[in-house]
């Protein structure tokens, strides 16, 4: 191989190493007030993952340089270039993964936004807590993004370019940072993580496939339930944790021009908006029976009446509505292996989320407001959602209290983490 070719490739490989050396751990790089910081578990998991990747990549670059200066001298320029490109692709992957986390962490530098996100980290972790220790709760990092819907990159799933994600990354749309919109999006996305840890989607999908196989050929509803089950499970998780606040938040997402509500795409993993709202009400009524769900469902029908539809669409809507009670019973009574013989309703129904109990709790907090600051975040979301739906709390009051409470969760979450680290 020509000396010029060797020199060019050596220069490029050494340049990659100098750029790699400039990448610092987030604990040395990012500035933020302590209350806005990621939990120690989250930042440690991210930095350890990225540092491990950088060490591996630097080792690959060193090995390439050693090969280039030794055995590679007898290779063709094309072979040397091919090996360099392989190293460079790994380098680009490492930087892409760095940017994936950097976007979320840099937002913590904004004083008010950063503290809010830290408070949402606490609320998201609370969303993943179950009474029994069915799994270890992974570190959670929340951040904001543009767009209409939330999203999650689940912990322990494959990252672009390889490697398992060390944390659960939850994206919350900026437009959802109001009232129960925060709670609905946050807990729904956390539900995707929890469902993955419990293997709920695979378990339910297997059961539904059995129902589909035994159903008459024309019963399209069960095929669609099976198709939508991932999103339905996340909605179910949110309903169990925050009650009607989940459905009210969903209404905010699907407040769209009428054609979008009834647009049926059988390849979409999301239920089309009109039926998704009715599914949410049906599941909520199954978990926490109360007239509020039927009232909300009826009100939604007045906003988007199912009229003037194509005959095929109208027939499918009716089939879905007719099949919904049986689907809800099947889902609530499902007993996945991960729950050790218990059904979903036995594990997820909570006495303090009963609609009447939530209103009683709201009245108790009105008398002694300080008590709400000691409550778990998901209970706060549930109480506020129920009070809003009953007309006992204004949007302005909800927003004012949530601002204070989310900052409170960030502060006390940070102090608790610091005390734990100090003890250790």
In this predicted model, what pLDDT tens digit does every residue of 173-222 receive, in sequence order?
A: 877 677 778 899 999 999 999 999 999 999 999 999 988 887 776 588 99
- CA angle centred on 304, ends 298 and 306, rounded to 5°: 85
Q: Give the separation between CA 150 and CA 172, rounded to whole angstroms.
A: 5
CA distances from 351 to 319, 345, 356, 361, 416 (A): 33, 12, 10, 12, 27
The confidence score (pLDDT) of residue 419 equals: 66
293: enclosing H helix or E strand: helix 291-303
The confidence score (pLDDT) of residue 24 equals: 65
The confidence score (pLDDT) of residue 16 equals: 72
In this predicted model, what pLDDT tens digit does every residue of 345-395 receive, in sequence order?
A: 999 999 999 999 999 999 999 999 999 999 999 999 999 999 999 999 998
Distance of CA 108 to the CA centre of its chain: 18
Q: What is the DSSP letter of 134?
A: S
Cβ pair 135, 198 in contact under 8 A: yes
Where do we find the tokens 């949007």?
395
Segments in 70-158 forming alpha helices (H): 77-106, 111-127
- The pLDDT > 90 percentage for the chain reads 53
Cβ pair 20, 57 in contact under 8 A: yes
Q: What is the DSSP letter of 173?
A: E
Domain spans of the chain, in order of start: 3-106
CA distances from 94 to 19, 65, 100, 163, 165 (A): 11, 19, 10, 10, 13
DSSP bridge partners of 142: 170
The confidence score (pLDDT) of residue 287 equals: 97
Q: Which of 250, 252, 309, 310 is nearest to 280 (CA)?
A: 250
Q: Give the separation between CA 108 and CA 350, rounded to whole angstroms.
A: 33
Q: Which of 169, 171, 167 is nearest to 149 (CA)?
A: 171
The confidence score (pLDDT) of residue 252 equals: 85
In this predicted model, what pLDDT tens digit does every residue of 229-270 receive, in sequence order?
A: 999 999 999 999 999 999 999 988 888 899 999 998 888 999
Q: Give the separation between CA 63 and CA 60, rounded to whole angstroms.
A: 5
pLDDT interval class at 319 (50, 70, 90): very high
Question: Considering the entire predicted model, what is its pTM?
Answer: 0.86
Q: Give the separation between CA 209 and CA 362, rounded to whole angstroms.
A: 42
CA neighbours within 13 Å on the CB side: how many for 135? Answer: 18
Cβ pair 167, 42 in contact under 8 A: yes
């Amino acid at each position: 191989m020509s000396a010029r070719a060797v020199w060019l490739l050596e220069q490029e490989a050494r340049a990659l190493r100098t750029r790699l050396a400039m990448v610092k751990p987030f604990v040395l790089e990012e500035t933020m007030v302590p209350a806005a910081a990621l939990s120690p578990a989250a930042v440690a998991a991210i930095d350890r993952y990225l540092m491990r990747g950088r060490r591996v990549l630097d080792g690959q670059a060193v090995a390439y340089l050693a090969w280039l200066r030794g055995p590679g001298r007898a290779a063709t320029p094309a072979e040397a270039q091919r090996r360099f490109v392989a190293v460079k692709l790994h380098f680009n992957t490492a930087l892409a993964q760095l940017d994936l986390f950097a976007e979320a962490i840099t937002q913590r530098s904004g004083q008010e936004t950063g503290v809010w996100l830290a408070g949402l980290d606490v609320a998201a972790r609370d969303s993943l807590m179950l009474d029994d220790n069915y799994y270890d709760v992974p570190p959670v990092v929340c951040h904001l993004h543009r767009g209409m819907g939330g999203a999650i990159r689940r912990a322990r799933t494959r990252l672009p370019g390889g490697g398992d994600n060390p944390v659960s990354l939850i994206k919350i749309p900026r437009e959802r940072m109001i009232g129960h919109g925060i709670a609905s999006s946050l807990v729904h996305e956390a539900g995707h993580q929890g469902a993955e840890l419990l293997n709920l989607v695979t378990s339910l999908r297997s059961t539904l496939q059995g129902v589909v196989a035994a159903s008459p050929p024309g019963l399209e509803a069960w095929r669609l339930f099976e198709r939508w089950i991932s999103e339905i499970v996340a909605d179910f998780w949110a309903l169990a944790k925050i009650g009607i606040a989940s459905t009210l938040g969903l209404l905010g997402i699907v407040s769209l021009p009428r054609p979008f509500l009834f647009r049926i795409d059988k390849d979409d993993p999301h239920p089309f908006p009109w039926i998704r709202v009715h599914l949410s009400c049906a599941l909520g009524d199954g978990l926490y029976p109360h007239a509020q769900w039927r009232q909300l469902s009826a009100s939604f029908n007045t906003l988007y009446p199912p009229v003037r539809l194509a005959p095929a669409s109208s027939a499918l809507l009716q089939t879905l509505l007719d099949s919904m009670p049986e689907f809800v019973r099947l889902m609530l009574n499902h007993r996945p292996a991960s729950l050790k013989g218990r059904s979903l309703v036995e594990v997820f129904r909570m006495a303090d989320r009963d609609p009447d109990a939530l209103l009683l709790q709201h009245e108790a907090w009105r008398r002694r407001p300080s008590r709400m600051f000691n409550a778990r975040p998901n209970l706060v979301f549930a109480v506020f959602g129920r009070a809003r739906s009953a007309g006992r709390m204004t949007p302005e009051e909800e927003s004012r209290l949530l601002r204070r409470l989310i900052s409170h969760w960030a502060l006390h979450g940070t102090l608790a983490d610091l005390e734990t680290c100090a003890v250790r």
